[in-house]
Each structure stands twice: as structure tokens, then as C-alpha cells.
Amino acid sequence: MSYYDAQESKKRIEKVREILNARSLDLALVYYDELNIANGWYLTGWCPQFEKGAVLIPRKGEPMILGGPESEPFARMASAITNTRNFKVFMVPDEEYPNATIIDFAELFVELRANIEVRRIGLVGMEAIPHALYVQLERGFTGVEIVDITAEFLALRHEKSDWEIANIRKGFEMSLASYHAMKAKIRPGAYEYEVAAAGEEVARRSGASGFGFSAIVGSGERSDAVVPTALNKQMQSGELVMVGIAPKWNGYCGVVGDTLPASGSYTARQRECINDLREAFRLTKAMLKPGAVGRDIDAPAREYYQKQGLMKYLVCPFLHTLGLNEAEAPFYGPNSSDVLKPNMVVSIDVSFFGHPEFHGTRIETGYLITRGGCEPLCPEMDALMTGRL
């Protein structure tokens, strides 16, 4: 009845404590909300609805969730961390909970100092934290130094454990099944939302815990929107339809992206377009091996785009990592010095947008970096993306 593994959560908390010890910090505060879900989920296997929150991990002692009263019973049922405190700053604005115990950071500071020294704290999610929260934390924890440890924390998520990889594999299984359901619904006259619904239904019936993004369905000019969610637009004969879906298993994403003909078969020009995408895909895949550096991975497909006259339509680099988010750091773009390591999971995501003839396109699937190179997480999509029409 939960999405976490107790041993995994315990190991992750200890890794955070290693950061605290290395940086001479007394506790970590890890911010999360429904948009910035991954850092909180990494420690708890859980995220609230409506309210914001944070995970507090002291160097010694019991971790706790700082949140709101609507989250409290949900956390006690579903989170790996069940010790909770409620704060107004995390609650739905202007909502009242007369039977809840609400404290502030000054009261929490007093409680913590009864058991531990609190002189320096590490904050995760500095770029996402609401201003009101930061101000209240600073005022409540009087005289305490606040240190940004977001980068150190994110590095914990880069290389995946065996348990994480197993979850991601299941996410890719669901992605493939959803893809086939979506593809079967594409035809002239069908609505974009019908295609999205078909994929989402398959994933939910298979036990998906959520989605890395709302299903992408963009037909014709709507595909220029880069990540278009499905609308009440009917597909037209001759259009290309960009689709994407990212089901989660235990919070971990799989993903698939493709560009398909509304009429059921590509025109000669559309085949040329898809073959260009697939060539860029093959060039990127050939670079996937431990020790490869981001800018070097990016270069071959970028050079190919330049030769084909596609650079002016390139919005996104060709490779990113994948895990609790469908796209998460590190990102391997033309200025990246990030290095591939074994047990990283990456997604080759080849696209362009704003083309006067083809509009927006995308093809995407994922790989596990191994000691010898890479392993496709969805062999069927790997075969499709690396083949020629």
C-alpha cells in the first residue's frame, strides 16, 4: 500500500547525513510541492496534494515532514516518514483547520534545540522555495546559517540503484503499451484528447503511480508547441501527430515519444523527415558509454542537423537523464561537461519545432548506461527509432 521501499529510504536518509557531516551542517531541509515533487519523493515515496512541504533530516534523530493538516493523515498512511508537523506557510492559503495543531519555525527551532545543536542548516530546492517560506525560516531559526546543498543532494539521484532501475523498466513497459493504444486511435477525424485518454487508461490500468508529464498529443501546427497537451482538435488527413507519454511506476518514469501520420502512412517527404530524426537518434546512441562528456555526446547529431538545415528549428538538446522526473539533471547539451556513468538512465530525445512544412516533431526512448555502453530499456522502441523507413 505504498510506493517506497523501506531499505531504500533508509539508505537515502543516511546519504543525506553524509552530506551534513561533510559540510558540518546540523540538519537538512528538503523542499517539495506538487510541481517540484522529486526531491521529497526521493526520501518519502510520497507527495501531498494541494499543500507544499519539506522533509527535515537532522544529523541525529528522527526525520520529519513539515507540511499542512490536509497532508498529515495522508503522510502517516503512505509516506516512508510519518513524523509530521503542520505550518501555515505550507497550507492552502486562507483555509482554516480549527482542530489542527499549527506551529511556526520559531516553535520548531525551540523543539529541535532541546535535543540537537542547530547552528548551520542545509537547504535543498533553493531555486523553488517560495519567498514567504524562506523569510519565515530565516526569522524563526534566529542566528542560524542557511547553506544551499541542492547540488549535492541532486547528485545522489544521478546513479540509480537496482531497485530504481527495476521501477524504471516497468515504467518503460507501460510506456510501450500506452504508445500502442495511442497509435491505434490516430486517424483523420479523431480528437487529440481521445488519443491521450487511450494511453493514460492503459497506464492507469497497469498500476501507474502517476505521469512524468501530461500526455502529449499535437497534430498539425499544434505540434509546434513543443509539449502540447491534448485539446479538442480533430486530426486532419496528411498531418503529422506528435505523441508522448511518461507513466510512472513507484514514482519512476518510463517514456516514449514519436511522430506519426494521421492518415496511417507517411508521405515521401514525411519519411525523409522521420529518417532525419532517426539518423540523429542513431548518432546520439552511438555516443552512449561511460566517460562520455555532454558536449561530445551532443556534437554528432548537432552537426547532422546543421547539414540538413534543421538547426534553426532546434529547441532542445538530444539527451537528458530520467528518473523521478521524465527530464532531470544532468542534461547533456552543447555546453555540458557532465559525464555519463554506469547505472545512469538517459533518454534520447530528438526533436525540432517551428518547421514550415513538418511543424514540430519528436522521437524518444531510454537507455541504461552500462560498463560496456548502453542497454535499451524498451527494445521495441529502440529497434523502431534506430531503423529506417
Shared domain check, 100 and 195: no
Angstrom distance (rounded) from CA 111 to CA 343? 40
Q: Are residues 139 and 180 in the same domain?
A: no
Q: Cα-atom radius of gyration of the chain, to the nearest Å?
A: 23
CB 64 within 8 A of CB 86: no
Same-domain pairing of 75 and 207: no
Same domain, yes or no: 182 and 299: yes
Q: Cα 302 vs. chain centroid, distance in angstroms?
A: 24
Dihedral angle, C-alpha 40, 46, 50, 51, nearest 10 °: -50
8 Å CB contact between 367 and 284: no
Domain-ending residue, one of 155, 171, 199: 155
Same domain, 76 and 180: no
CA–CA separation, 237 and 221 (whole Å): 13
- 1 in a structural domain: no
Residues 276 and 366 in one domain: yes
* Any domain includes 322: yes
- In a shared domain, residues 320 and 216: yes
pLDDT in tens, 247-303: 999 999 999 999 999 999 999 999 999 999 999 999 999 999 999 999 999 999 999
Domain closes at, from 118, 136, 155: 155
Adjacent-strand bridge partners of 120: 145
Question: Mind listing the pLDDT tens digit of every residue in the chain (389 residues)?
Answer: 689 999 999 999 999 999 999 999 999 999 999 999 999 999 999 999 999 999 999 999 999 999 999 999 999 999 999 999 999 999 999 888 999 999 999 999 999 999 999 999 999 999 999 999 999 999 999 999 999 999 999 999 999 999 999 999 999 999 999 999 999 999 999 999 999 999 999 999 999 999 999 999 999 999 999 999 999 999 999 999 999 999 999 999 999 999 999 999 999 999 999 999 999 999 999 999 999 999 999 999 999 999 999 999 999 999 999 999 999 999 999 999 999 999 999 999 999 999 999 999 999 999 999 999 999 999 999 999 999 99
- Of 155, 182, 208, which residue is a domain's last? 155
* Alpha-carbon distance values, 213 to 1, 39, 216, 217, 318 (Å): 24, 17, 8, 12, 18
The CA distance from 313 to 307, in Å, is: 13
In this structure, the answer to whether residues 247 and 304 fall within a common structural domain is yes
Quote the domain boundaries for residue 118: 6-155
All three cell numbers of 44: 518519502
CATH assignment of the domain containing 365: 3.90.230.10
Q: Do 257 and 339 share a domain, yes or no? A: yes
Please count the structural domains in the chain: 2
Are 308 and 277 found together in one domain? Answer: yes
Beta strands in 133-270 (DSSP E): 145-148, 210-211, 216-219, 240-245, 247-249, 252-253, 256-261
Q: What is the CATH number of the domain that holds 61?
A: 3.40.350.10
Q: Contact at 8 Å (CB) between 240 and 265? A: no
61 belongs to a structural domain: yes
Report the C-alpha gap between 109 and 126 in whole angstroms.
20
Residue 141 and residue 172 in one domain: no
* Same domain, yes or no: 127 and 259: no
Domain presence at residue 379? yes
